[in-house]
A and B are shown apart, each in its own frame.
Chain A
């Protein structure tokens, strides 16, 4: 069974990742690898749009701590958008939202990143 998929789009130097379905350990690791690849290519602005995420479990959420770690190592900016309240609560509990920029929707994040060096 696999209830996770992911799509990626880019706008200039900004990458937008759209996970879909169930973010468990496997899904989150796919997301983590994708982010690493973009960081390795020198891209420093990543948006993760959660609008199509249905569920996140604790293992999936905790994988995001290493994504945040990588973001800091690469001096990059990571933005979360379109989060359901429950998902926001989970990330708050894990202390992840302290290290990322959270926006109500994708457009707000893109506007913010356009003005960011």
Chain B
């Protein structure tokens, strides 16, 4: 493998994004591809997506060369960066030409060493670029040469290049001989505009959004995983620890917000403890945010943005206040509440925003949508500011998570298996949705899925019980609807999926029923029960409402 990536079986829910990026990359050959800013929350999988793209481009085609570069905090003097960037580019470009992945990892190569390799391989285009670079002694000009190397190589060889840069925000710390020079990032503007060498840039969203080059980029959002993919990923990770689970902890997975990093952390910890029931997973999660990998990850982010020890306590207090006030807080209110000068408040809130701890790019701050982050801050606040013991914190969080699991509304109903009885269930669902102030589109999607599930239940009913038992469970962020009936033959013993055999295959309309269900909810589970068969439909209400709001805002 050129870059170390997850095996295909563990890379969940990103096929469409990967295919889209791959297609865009190949279009670089025609000179029509724009540079892209790959945005998304921390841990959502942007880096993995870039690495997967690199490997696909490296092995599966020979027309567009991939170049992957992750900005290293230790190499931010302009001279060091230029040299490293240029040499890695040339090595990766040569590696691609000969499908020789070992060249990608040639660490410690000197310029003379690289020159010898280039001479040996008669790579005159690269020798020419390297020669110009060696002759240049001005740091800024050297940087220009390095950044333009992909474009120059394309002009010389005709081969387009896709440049992937990770952790791009670190370039804010560019310096020349120890003097900060963040403005030099603007030198990327020209390379970003070349259509035959499009750049894919990612890193910390809040910081990149504030950089001067953002206007030259088309934005592409990497969304959290769908609940179904999150559940598959969780099962697969536990499977790697030799643990088979009968049902995934959907409430917890929903709480993790489809973030692959969080899912991996909890699954790894659950795998090591060999405990995988939902209640055990919640305890594992609490350990993760109070003393595990998630804790150390967010703590390191906090420390890197607030290196001064004396400030951290105040930062925790402010963040906790923003999270739990229940409304957005303007800067002057924070100043007043904490007796801080406007200037000090600005420094703290700007850093909190850039670190991703709060939302609000126009100076009015609110909690992010990331509930794991909120739990982490709660935990840290209890420990460091309130001086609570680990046991107290654990109890508090268990109570809070119990609330997450229990707070909700449930309805049950039984309908007879008579023609068009599914409409009764659909109408009830409409009223439930209205009572809970659900988005109209979400209600429509749930109704559609329930209608199809009821029709399936009627078609596959066996035995004397001619009723369908429905259960509607709604929490603040989740809808789970189960439709149970007699009908043992509907689900395969081996796969847990419905048969696509006689009856389903012959009738095209019914085959579509299951596809429609899967399209309109996040997860469709088929379970065998005492009564017969249960179809469980689950839908994340927060994400759906957000997507619909964004759709409305963009005029779709």
* Chain A positions near chain B (C-beta within 8 angstroms): 1-3, 22, 24-25, 55, 57-63, 65, 84-86, 89-90, 93-94
Contacts and interface: CB of A to CB of B under 8 A. Distances in A.
Contacts of B515: 58, 93
Given A2-B420, A85-B441, A89-B520, 9 more contacts: A1-B418, A1-B419, A57-B451, A57-B455, A58-B452, A63-B509, A86-B448, A93-B516, A94-B512
B444 A84 contact: yes
5 contacts: A3-B423, A25-B509, A59-B509, A62-B512, A89-B519
Interface residues of B, number: 24
B447 A55 contact: yes
B551 to A, nearest CB: 9
Contacts of B455: 57-59
B426 interface: yes
Contact of B423 (A25, A55, A60, A61): A55
Contacts of A58: 452, 455, 509-510, 512-513, 515-516
Give the dominant DSSP class at B's interface.
Answer: helix
B420 A3 contact: yes
Pairs of residues from A and B, 8 with the lowest C-beta to C-beta distance, nearest first = A59-B509, A86-B444, A62-B509, A58-B512, A58-B513, A1-B420, A58-B509, A58-B516
B553 interface: no
Contact of B452 (A57, A65, A85, A89): A57
A9 B395 CA distance: 68
Nearest to B422: A57
B445 interface: yes
Contacts of A59: 455, 507, 509-510, 513
Contacts of B420: 1-3, 22, 24
A60 B423 CA distance: 14
Interface in B486-540: 507-510, 512-513, 515-516, 519-520
B418 A90 contact: no
B423 A22 contact: yes
Contacts of A93: 512, 515-516, 519
A62 B508 contact: yes
B304 to A, nearest CB: 44
Contacts of B452: 57-58
Contacts of B422: 57
Interface string B428-449: 0000000000000100110110
A66 to B, nearest CB: 10
A52 B420 CA distance: 18
Interface in B388-438: 418-420, 422-423, 426
Nearest to B507: A59
